Structure 1
């Protein structure tokens, strides 16, 4: 009885403990239920107020305007707008923002370093210049000094380009000609071998005179680096974590004055390319980025019967640190009046040269030059062998013959040869420019810019749709620099101070072909 009594004595206490445990468990379950609901409600409130973005919406196929890895705080609100027919050629106009920056106008903060500018002499249209400008803005270029002629100087195109922040246009006017006629370049010898010759030589002198003026502009705008590029060339800042030209140049030692970007040449795979920047991904690497055994061992197959390894030049382009006494040394290099610059060459970064990427390039180059299509005459007009051969074909052959010649000498149709040279590292695929420009187009950068300018101009002053869409390139027009190509004026001869310079590096560097098989002993 005592044992039974004892057992019955403690049973109320056990029941109380069981009820207490159940109550505690209920509270825990209630807390675990309310906590995620509270967090979900809090997130909903934040999203409703616009303080955070829904990643499922951000990366939806309908509104894919940001790139992975980009900071969403710098993205502008996407707004839709009605697209105009003239804007469609450069992409959709559903957005006025580009995800890389605060707004599509690419307004840079003044404290971004280094500040980089590009100067160019161009007669191209918007379909080429706009992607070229905004691509370089994406990789860190700050300012552009564009010396425009032909289509690039037309009123409508000029209005669009001038509406872009930090883009300065310099038209080839009589006043500009008179100012450049006073340049000290005419009184020196380093460029004198190119004076008073037609076509490519004339362009080479124009570019040098324009580069000289661009140096002054870069000093006035506190630039740190200056490059000279054509509008068929893109800087490829390989070797940087962020694919950034600014990051690349910020890592250059302070004692270095100029840096060289070896050029990679486009290798087209079709004869119907319309937009080279968006359609060409295969390039031939420069000799400087290959083992000499690989280069010379595959030289014959790489040239495919053409005069040289590259169709055009092979000595790259250069960037210079803006400093006193800087001067151009031809279109490919920079120099200094007071010292021999310290120059280095990048091991990975390059300049991508989109040359002869369109079949129409044959006739457009022909139309820019009035030389007779003979072997002797073209030597006066063109510096490189392939340019000479292309000019003769474009001037003498029928349309069908030109197309066959283009397919044989320019288009890469042999897939097995492509695979072989890919494995050797001579050919390489580069997609970064295509991806960036696709993002720009999908974000509506080009179309928004054109539409915004079009709304501010009357139909009489803005270019027609056909003027934008027309892809044919006009030649460099306007007054010729110092009447280049005519007989040399006596005053120029009398005024020129001949400098006795022993250092060959002080002479202007023209476009040079890559090393040939005959040069192999020089590189061993």
Structure 2
């Protein structure tokens, strides 16, 4: 049992590892007499040469071997979502031809769900859903708006087993208006503000509802993830989130997954999940000596940290009585403190600003004025503020220049240096899994089957008829009802004394 919990560790605890091969070779040469050292080296070199020759001969005999430096051996460049999701003309991963795709089975334990609030299209949501199915997520509660709520997208999402689609309707807003969250001091500083603050409040209200839905579905654990984030269950032999969470002691309530941030190496990325393999490690996973030695090289164009966006990770919570969201990154409980641990290897991969269009479309997401002062009331983070101003005031050429200067890492020498220092890391697993899903025709088949079926049910599918009473009783367990009229007349500025439980979002 000693090895079961080695993936868990207290927050900020550091571990160091030494190379077994280096220590082995060192002890060999130190213990061998000088008379035998040279002959031993000659024997090893001869053996190595023969091995390389045999390996080269094998490669010549095989065809279609992928470039190991970049799994897939090709770059997706089609801006058309069907081109990104559709079947490729050739298999890029011959080693995976016999791989059987096993999506999360409902009879496996623990049962894990993800809730998300999204406006993304199928080119992003389908790879996101099926990747997480492969690693053991069985259930998805998707609160959709914008493009994600359009008929041609929502029809497909609704057809996927395990996916529940919730639309932002008047009924939803009426239910959420009854939530006790509106009266909680920990949410006070976020209320009645536009843009990112408004989104953060919506996410929190949606998470609260997802907890109720998760309990009704018999879930054991719940994540809140955005559709530009992938769980990377490193540290589990089966590459399984279920295996990771099954090893967590019963007394633990939440588990933190540190986040790694994507690094784009060119400015024409179309499909981040399939084209991005370089990531900045979280500060929790970088040795202090390496971090401070390479700080200025790793932080160009930023003021204090080399992550563009959030740094505090995401967490999974065990479903339990009185569970509540604590912002979009953490969970809490109304009546007791939660016991929290952190995984040492498993992380959340955040693909942020990984496409140039993520910058150019930024100005359309908010009605704030593109000034230094006004953006402070719209965005939490300084980089988001700067990006909004550039997207709102610059030409496309100027935006391209800014994007390459602040987001793109083109200097291969610097990238290699930071990789060697342990500041950056290469992660290929999501690329391989998603590419194999694409090669197997999973995405194109889901789309085709969804449109082939007759849509007999309404878009809302009687959802509120099933859940509204349960939500109503859960959301007003304390405090008073708040109706839509009261929402418009309540104080517009939150009390300055309201505490903030997490400053970095």
Query: TM-score under structure 2 normalisation?
Result: 0.74
Out of 423, 427, 437, the residue aligned to residue 424 of structure 2 is 427
Deviation at 1:286, TM superposition (A): 0.2
2:408 is aligned with 1:415: no
2:340 is aligned with 1:343: yes
Out of 378, 381, 385, the residue aligned to residue 378 of structure 2 is 381
Residue 287 of structure 2 is matched in structure 1 by 291
Residue 443 of structure 2 is matched in structure 1 by 446
Residue 305 of structure 1 is matched in structure 2 by 301
Residue 216 of structure 2 is matched in structure 1 by 220
Q: Could you tell me how far apart the structure 2 residues matched to 1:86 and 1:198 are?
A: 30
Secondary structure at the aligned position of 1:230 is classed as coil
Residue 321 of structure 1 is matched in structure 2 by 318
Secondary structure at the aligned position of 1:349 is classed as strand
Distance 1:107 1:412, change over 3 A: closer
Contact persistence 1:191–1:508 (CA under 8 A): no
Deviation at 1:125, TM superposition (A): 0.1
Distance 1:354 1:86, change over 3 A: closer
Contact persistence 1:256–1:343 (CA under 8 A): yes
Q: Could you tell me how far apart the structure 1 residues matched to 2:490 and 2:355 are?
A: 43
Taking the TM superposition and a 5 Å limit, the aligned residue runs for 1:217-256 are 217-256=213-252
Residue 174 of structure 1 is matched in structure 2 by 170
Contact persistence 2:264–2:278 (CA under 8 A): yes
Q: Could you tell me how far apart the structure 1 residues matched to 2:119 and 2:374 are?
A: 25
Contact persistence 1:114–1:246 (CA under 8 A): yes
Deviation at 1:100, TM superposition (A): 3.5
**Deviation per residue, 1:56-76 (Å, 9 max, x gap):** xxxx999x9xxxxxxxxxxxx
**Deviation per residue, 1:352-408 (Å, 9 max, x gap):** 000000001012222111110000001000110110111111111111010001001
Deviation at 1:306, TM superposition (A): 1.7
Contact persistence 2:113–2:222 (CA under 8 A): yes
Q: Could you tell me how far apart the structure 1 residues matched to 2:110 and 2:267 are?
A: 40
Contact persistence 1:373–1:391 (CA under 8 A): yes
Residue 404 of structure 1 is matched in structure 2 by 401
Q: Could you tell me how far apart the structure 1 residues matched to 2:135 and 2:306 are?
A: 29
Residue 43 of structure 1 is matched in structure 2 by none
**Deviation per residue, 1:140-162 (Å, 9 max, x gap):** 00100000000100111111011
Residue 57 of structure 2 is matched in structure 1 by none
2:109 is aligned with 1:116: no
Contact persistence 1:332–1:510 (CA under 8 A): no
Q: Could you tell me how far apart the structure 1 residues matched to 2:230 and 2:177 are?
A: 31
2:91 is aligned with 1:90: no
Deviation at 1:296, TM superposition (A): 2.4
Distance 1:483 1:402, change over 3 A: farther
Distance 1:165 1:99, change over 3 A: farther
**Deviation per residue, 1:218-257 (Å, 9 max, x gap):** 0000100000000000001111111111101111111110
Contact persistence 2:104–2:135 (CA under 8 A): no
Q: Could you tell me how far apart the structure 2 residues matched to 1:122 and 1:98 are?
A: 34
2:191 is aligned with 1:195: yes
Out of 260, 263, 266, the residue aligned to residue 267 of structure 1 is 263
Distance 1:98 1:119, change over 3 A: farther
Q: Could you tell me how far apart the structure 1 residues matched to 2:427 and 2:101 are?
A: 24
2:505 is aligned with 1:509: no
Q: Could you tell me how far apart the structure 1 residues matched to 2:274 and 2:370 are?
A: 33
Deviation at 1:88, TM superposition (A): 4.7
Q: Could you tell me how far apart the structure 2 residues matched to 1:303 and 1:334 are?
A: 30
Q: Could you tell me how far apart the structure 2 residues matched to 1:238 and 1:413 are?
A: 27
Q: Could you tell me how far apart the structure 2 residues matched to 1:369 and 1:483 are?
A: 26
Residue correspondences, number: 397
Contact persistence 1:98–1:444 (CA under 8 A): no
Deviation at 1:490, TM superposition (A): 4.0
Distance 1:61 1:225, change over 3 A: farther
Q: Could you tell me how far apart the structure 2 residues matched to 1:172 and 1:206 are?
A: 10
Q: Could you tell me how far apart the structure 1 residues matched to 2:491 and 2:265 are?
A: 48
Contact persistence 1:117–1:142 (CA under 8 A): yes
Secondary structure at the aligned position of 2:230 is classed as strand
Q: Name stretches of at least 5 consecutive residues in structure 2 with no aligned partner.
A: 1-61, 67-79, 92-96, 460-481
Distance 1:93 1:355, change over 3 A: closer
**Deviation per residue, 1:2-29 (Å, 9 max, x gap):** xxxxxxxxxxxxxxxxxxxxxxxxxxxx
Secondary structure at the aligned position of 1:145 is classed as strand
Q: Could you tell me how far apart the structure 1 residues matched to 2:161 and 2:88 are?
A: 20
Q: Could you tell me how far apart the structure 2 residues matched to 1:218 and 1:61 are?
A: 48
Contact persistence 1:87–1:448 (CA under 8 A): no
**Deviation per residue, 1:434-483 (Å, 9 max, x gap):** 0000110011100111111122259xx99xxxxxxxxxxxxxxxxxxx99
Distance 1:61 1:178, change over 3 A: farther
Distance 1:250 1:150, change over 3 A: same
Secondary structure at the aligned position of 1:390 is classed as helix
| Aligned structure 1 segments of 4 or more residues deviating by more than 3 angstroms | 85-89, 97-102, 486-493
Task: Provide the alpha-carbon RMSD of the alignment.
Answer: 2.9
Residue 164 of structure 1 is matched in structure 2 by 160
Distance 1:235 1:141, change over 3 A: same
Secondary structure at the aligned position of 1:144 is classed as strand
Residue 354 of structure 1 is matched in structure 2 by 351
Residue 100 of structure 2 is matched in structure 1 by 100
Contact persistence 1:98–1:445 (CA under 8 A): no
Contact persistence 1:136–1:234 (CA under 8 A): yes
Contact persistence 2:360–2:399 (CA under 8 A): no
